[in-house]
Amino acid sequence: MTETQRQSGGSRASRSGGTQASRSGGTQASRSGGTQPSRSGGTQPSPNGGAPASPNGGAPAGATSPQLRDRGDLDRGVGFLGLLWSSEGSLIGSGWLFGALTATTIAGPSALIGWVAASLIVMVLALIHAELGGMFPVAGGTSRFPHYAFGSLAGGTFGWMAYIQSAAVAPIEVLAAVEYLSSAHWASGFYNASSGTLHGAGWAVAIGLLLFFVVLNVLGVKWFARINGGITAWKILIPLLTIVVFLTTHFHGGNFTRGGGFFVHGAALKSILVGIPSGGIVFSLLGFEQAVQLAGEARNPQRDVPRAVIVSILLGCAIYILVQVAFIAALSPALLEHGHTWTSLANPGHSAALKALNQAPFYSVAKVAGLAWLALLLRIDAVASPGGTGLVYMTVASRISYGLARNGYVPQIFERTSTRRVPLFGILFAFALGCLFLLPFPSWNKLVGLITEAAVLMYAGAPLALGALRLQKPDLPRPFHLRGELVWAPLAFICSNLIVYWAGWTTYSTLLIALLIGYFLFWLSATFKLNEHTPEIDWQAAPWLAAYLIGNGLIAYFGTFGPGGILGGIGIFKHVLPDGGNNDLGLWGGLAASAVWSIVIYIWALWRRLPESKVDEYIRDVFTAPGPAA
């Protein structure tokens, strides 16, 4: 089959028109027969001249199903284990070192309910990503699925959220590693516990770790996969070992009812809901989608991407729930009584023991329990776990910026690859941005809410894309087919928006500012013609997208969670909408408003989806020619 027969039925043009062999002119196949102008002013022959097309946009008759692959210059050497470890390596990071303590200081032992609820929500999102990742195995997939279904405006919005969360995680993981290390006497000057920021030589250590990530990424994706595989094996082993040791040697069952009881008195439900986004729970479960982000570099993406996503999230959720049980059970009852309640553990005051617990939770529990050998392993893991996750996220950030460039949103330089076939500029830019994230920001548990909200908004684009693409391209090959999408897709969208709501007004308003910055950068790229493939804006998504963002903001402002102002009321924002999260809607009113608004937006978005012909145009650059029939 010729190069011009790549698409569903007949020939397809390159971005500038003409056959795939040329960007300067030629012919493109029409879906409906006859001729029509190509982008460059040529004509498109009907499919009659090529292989007969299927009526629904499938593979041409007499050919196998088309393979959806990115046409970039990336190395395609990552196998199933490489994809699996990239997702698992993202899941098991600083979340396991800090999340258990942070969640219990918000919700007490009832944080376990939050872990189970969040795990179920994230599992549904993972299944949705498994289908989309199998359909479109392209680099930076989560930034591109909404683009295919709803066009450039929606794609840029959700893509920017994907980039923000991925670029910010690497420096947060480095910050967590330095904070944990500072519990050692020789590293006590690395971190200022009172302000929650780096100090002295801690800056050099943090930047050195980020540079180490750069070097490993520049070596190429095969090196990354090998090194990340070894690190991830360690990262899984240490939590499992800790769970077994704590549960078999220092199980204090009474801890589940001590410290004020299983539930937080007077705020049982609210504390659980707040803990999901702000207690590090969802943050810890982020990362299953990394196999999707690296799909453009996979050897067999249609087979391996869905498997890697599903296996990683099942294993990750099981580990985190058991880690939370082990932490609650192994904490010294005397230490808990010293703090009086679980929630007061976050406010150590002048207590050296509680300060140590907040600085290095699992290390402190092991040390108090007399498990010196385990405490040593945990201190080593305090570098390995966050470091491994930071490595993966720097890799993924460069692939998401690669995907944004392929879609035309950001300068084309992000799309260029080195001699080792990695997006070098994207890697260096992620490093520079990571250094900026290290500068003024507070401690780990203060940052997770913002990153969680960006990630969940990114995830929210996936169920919308799944629902739309089931209508637009029902016959497109789906290596993994999620059954019951009429239930799971809207339910996942509702749950994503509930998590965004639980993060609160302060966090959501801060994220909107970050989104406006993204729009400004996209405008600069288009205005100065920094990408020759800058897409036209698909305004048909604008009404529902604007209503979605503004509506979520109003619900957050009048809701129960995250009281305060924009950016926490700092600097010039001190008096800008300072009374958000004022509980005007009440607990149940806010939950109902968020759920109902999500359903309205879901239906509205699917109604305003792109026509099938426009979807074909956008996915053109990820098709490869189907092979000959057997």
Which tens digit of pLDDT belongs to each residue from 61-80? 333 344 544 545 555 667 78
Of residues 240 and 302, more confidence is placed in 240
Q: Give the whole-number percent of the chain exceeding pLDDT 90.
A: 39
pTM above 0.85, yes or no: no
Calpha distance 572→579 (Å, rounded): 15
pLDDT of residue 46: 37
- Cα–Cα nearest to 385, from 245, 287, 311: 287
pLDDT tier at 361, thresholds 50, 70, 90 = very high
Q: Give the whole-number percent of the chain exceeding pLDDT 70.
A: 82
pLDDT of residue 112: 96
pLDDT of residue 58: 40
DSSP classification of residue 14: -
Average pLDDT on 490-517 reads 91
Q: Where exactly are the structural domains of the chain?
A: 1-59, 80-493
In degrees and rounded to multiples of 5, residue 390 shows phi and psi of: -60, -40
Calpha distance 31→624 (Å, rounded): 18
pLDDT of residue 44: 38
Residue 356, pLDDT above cutoff 80: yes
Give the lowest-confidence range in 52-61, 350-359, 403-412, 431-440: 52-61
Which of 208-222, 407-421, 566-580 is predicted most confidently? 407-421
For residue 520, CA distances in Å to 403, 409, 525 come to: 18, 11, 9
Average pLDDT on 140-152 reads 84
Q: How many CB atoms lie within 10 A of CB 330?
A: 23
Average pLDDT on 598-618 reads 94
pLDDT of residue 242: 96
Q: How many CB atoms lie within 10 A of CB 28?
A: 27
3-state secondary structure of 161: helix
pLDDT tier at 1, thresholds 50, 70, 90 = very low
pLDDT of residue 321: 96
Residue 167, pLDDT above cutoff 70: yes
3-state secondary structure of 29: coil
Residue 147, pLDDT above cutoff 80: yes
Give the lowest-confidence range in 118-132, 293-307, 314-328: 293-307
Calpha distance 170→177 (Å, rounded): 11
Task: Tell me the two tokens of residue 257.
Answer: 């009812």
Question: Could you tell me which CATH number the domain at 80-493 has?
Answer: 1.20.1740.10
Which of 82-86, 157-161, 550-554, 622-626 is predicted most confidently? 550-554
Over the chain, what is the mean pLDDT?
A: 81
pLDDT of residue 272: 95
Q: Say which amino acid occupies 623.
A: F
The partner residues of 564 in beta bridges, in order of sequence, read 580
pLDDT of residue 621: 60
Residue 454, pLDDT above cutoff 90: no
Residue 252, pLDDT above cutoff 50: yes
Residue 195, pLDDT above cutoff 80: no
Write out pLDDT tens, residues 576-592. Answer: 788 888 889 999 999 99
For residue 340, CA distances in Å to 145, 159, 431, 566 come to: 49, 45, 43, 33
Of residues 298 and 50, more confidence is placed in 298
3-state secondary structure of 463: helix
pLDDT of residue 372: 93
The partner residues of 191 in beta bridges, in order of sequence, read 198
pLDDT tier at 17, thresholds 50, 70, 90 = very low
pLDDT tier at 4, thresholds 50, 70, 90 = very low
pLDDT of residue 422: 86
Average pLDDT on 32-41 reads 38
pLDDT of residue 551: 97
The partner residues of 63 in beta bridges, in order of sequence, read 628
DSSP classification of residue 206: H
Give the lowest-confidence range in 172-181, 188-197, 461-470: 188-197
- Cα–Cα nearest to 386, from 97, 144, 103: 97
Average pLDDT on 418-444 reads 82
pLDDT of residue 75: 58
pLDDT of residue 72: 52
3-state secondary structure of 197: strand
